[in-house]
Amino acid sequence: MKLQVFKKIIFLIGVSLCFCAANAQTLLDSTALDKISEKDKPALLSQLAERSRINGDYKAAIARAQQGADLALKVKNPTEATKAYAAMTSVYSTTKQFALSKKASDTSLSIAQRSRQPIALAYAYYAQALFYSAIDNAEEITKYCQLALKSLGKKDDPYLSAKIYYQLYMLSSRRDDVKNVNTYAKAATENALKTTDYNLLSNCYIALSVAADYNYASTKSDVLRDSIIYYLNKAQNLYRQYPTSVAKKTYAISCINSADYYLRYFSDTDQTAKANAIRYAGMANEVMKGAINGEEVRASSLGILSEYAKRDKNFVMAEGYLQEAYSVLISKKVPYYYTLINVVTALSNFYEQRGNYEKALEFQKKATEFNSKYFDEKRTLNAQKLEVQYEAEKKNNEVKLLKQSEQYAQQQKYLYIGIAIASILGLIFMFRSYHFRLRYSLQREKQLHLEKQDAELQMKLEKEEQARLKAEQLLLESQQQQLQKEVMASQLQLEHKKEMLFQIKEKLSDNHQLNINKIWNEELLLDNDFEEAKFQIQQVHPEFFSLLNQRAQQKLTALDLKLCAYLHLKMDTKKIAQIMHIEAKSVRMSRYRIKQKLGLGKGEDLNLFLQGMG
């Protein structure tokens, strides 16, 4: 068989079997189930299911995982139930039962989401990643691995973290993403070192050897080349130290990869490398004899042994190894067609080189037959993958629609609640507003009433003020009138005195004989009369003289006004003559002259006219 063909076979085995063997923390015997409490049984059943899985007993693995899941749900342990369904997802993915794998992963996620426990969610997301890894959906693998790591950020779990990083490493190796192969292989190993799962750690060491192989291919550094065998030796040492904790398949793969290392990187003349390669290939073949699903590993080891036999020109042994590999593979009920095609193609090429064209044609026909079966198998698997992926996407879309509907219903609910609250608040506001307006109206009415009372009081005060001012004005007018009356009376008295003095002066100048005592007595009598006249004159209307002047058609003299005042006071002619020291005749003449000045007719009485003016 050509070297390039075997490199391809070995790489395929390395990836697929590492995927299948990645969970065996503390492998316990099933008899321990009878010795522990029902509460602790789910965890032990999950471990037993994993032991069955990595040993290839998938039927037992499913039975124990299902039993563990049912018991975990019974004792209300969602985390262990999620782990059990994740284990079932792994088995169904390995056996290419994609519909059952999807169902198990969805059940795991449903239980975890109800529990809302970080570890349970992380296992559920990991189960989803396992399912999508089986149907080769790289985008979903990355998505769920990242979600699982995010959940683990809340609660550390190195064991699960190692498994998640290992999934990301496998995805990166399929893509030949050297950077991420190194990153995730290292992260997986760092977390595996914190656990007691030596099978997981062994697989992580194999992952580091693959990363070193990638690095060597790009740098050609001898240090990196030697690190390949270094990590493979560490994986093998774990099996020797913990033979019951590391799966035989894991150990066999590390041996196959070591043999391949010497085959690829050392010359044909290097006898030490040859001896090591043959030793590792023989160890892998020997350890997998009788093992379940160990046919591919044995075929790979026999292929390497055949390659070294051809190099030694030992064609009989080379043929024997290839025939044995063919027999091992064909004995399986459903052969690994990809590996079987490589083996029969190698046999066809071998017989062609040996000149046995009949045998070469026979195996070439077998290669064509197996290629057709492999194509049909792959097409069927792809159809199943597409169908499951379609159903998964359909279900995811339905879930999204349900979530959107639920979200919409929730939003509607919140909207209705908001509307109800707004309505209640509106009613409260309206009631408060009405109450406020009512209170405001009452306050306003009260205020208006108070303002009205204030206005009325103000008007009353203003009226009282006006009455007071009017009273003061009347008092002032009365006082003014009184003063005017007193002034007029005083003027009349002064004029009388002045006139009397003037008459005395004239009499004295004429040397008339005067009787002073008589004059004095007469004057006292006149003074008494005048006091009475003065009192009456003081009651004269203050506008009396102004009204006379207005009525007069000719200007009235002071003497005329004085006479009118006396007449108004109803004094007779004689008394007026005495007061004024004139003859009665002069008084009558003055009365006639005043009547003419006032424009009175002959039939009008001056006395009545003047008295009427008061």
* Tens digits of residue pLDDT in 206-241: 999 999 999 999 888 888 889 999 999 999 999 999
Question: Does the pLDDT at position 20 exceed 50?
Answer: no
Dist CA 17 CA 166 (whole Å): 13
Tell me the pLDDT band of 107, cut-offs 50, 70 and 90: very high
Domain residues of the chain, as ranges? 247-355, 506-613
Instruction: Tell me the two tokens of residue 533.
Output: 């006249």
Question: Does the pLDDT at position 254 exceed 80?
Answer: yes
Tell me the pLDDT band of 14, cut-offs 50, 70 and 90: very low
Which range has highest mean pLDDT (19-28, 49-58, 352-361, 427-436)? 352-361
Q: What is the mean pLDDT of residues 542-566?
A: 79
* Percent share of the chain, pLDDT over 70: 81
Contacts (Cβ under 8 Å, ≥6 apart) of 183: 172
Q: What is the mean pLDDT of residues 123-128?
A: 94
Mean pLDDT check: name the lowest of 2-11, 48-57, 136-145, 478-487: 2-11
Tell me the pLDDT band of 147, cut-offs 50, 70 and 90: very high
Give me the pLDDT at residue 531, please. 55
Nearest to 133 by CA among 169, 80, 182: 169
> How much is the pTM?
0.64
Distance of CA 426 to the CA centre of its chain: 26
Nearest to 128 by CA among 102, 91, 92, 158: 102
Cα dihedral across residues 499, 501, 502, 504: positive or negative: positive
* Percent share of the chain, pLDDT over 90: 39
Question: CA dist 526 to 463, 532, 566, 590, 591, Å?
Answer: 49, 10, 14, 21, 22
Contacts (Cβ under 8 Å, ≥6 apart) of 117: 78, 79
Nearest to 40 by CA among 84, 87, 75: 75
Task: Tell me how many degrees the CA angle 273-275-280 measures, rounded to the nearest 5.
Answer: 95
Q: What is the mean pLDDT of residues 237-264?
A: 93
Question: CA dist 447 to 443, 454, 456, 591, Å?
Answer: 6, 10, 14, 71
Nearest to 305 by CA among 270, 277, 341, 267: 277
Tell me the pLDDT band of 503, cut-offs 50, 70 and 90: low
Q: Give 402-414 pLDDT, tens digit per residue.
A: 666 666 767 777 7
Collapsed DSSP state (helix, strand, coil) of residue 421 = helix
Question: Does the pLDDT at position 301 exceed 90?
Answer: yes
Greater confidence (493 vs 408) lies with: 408
CB 115 within 8 A of CB 155: no
Q: Give 343-387 pLDDT, tens digit per residue.
A: 999 999 999 998 999 999 999 999 999 899 888 888 887 787 787
Fold classification of 247-355 is: 1.25.40
CB 545 within 8 A of CB 561: yes
Give me the pLDDT at residue 41, please. 86
Averaged confidence pLDDT in the chain: 81
Greater confidence (516 vs 418) lies with: 418
Q: What is the mean pLDDT of residues 161-179?
A: 93
Question: Does the pLDDT at position 135 exceed 70?
Answer: yes
Which range has highest mean pLDDT (16-25, 119-128, 153-162)? 119-128
Mean pLDDT check: name the lowest of 119-128, 301-310, 480-489, 594-603: 480-489
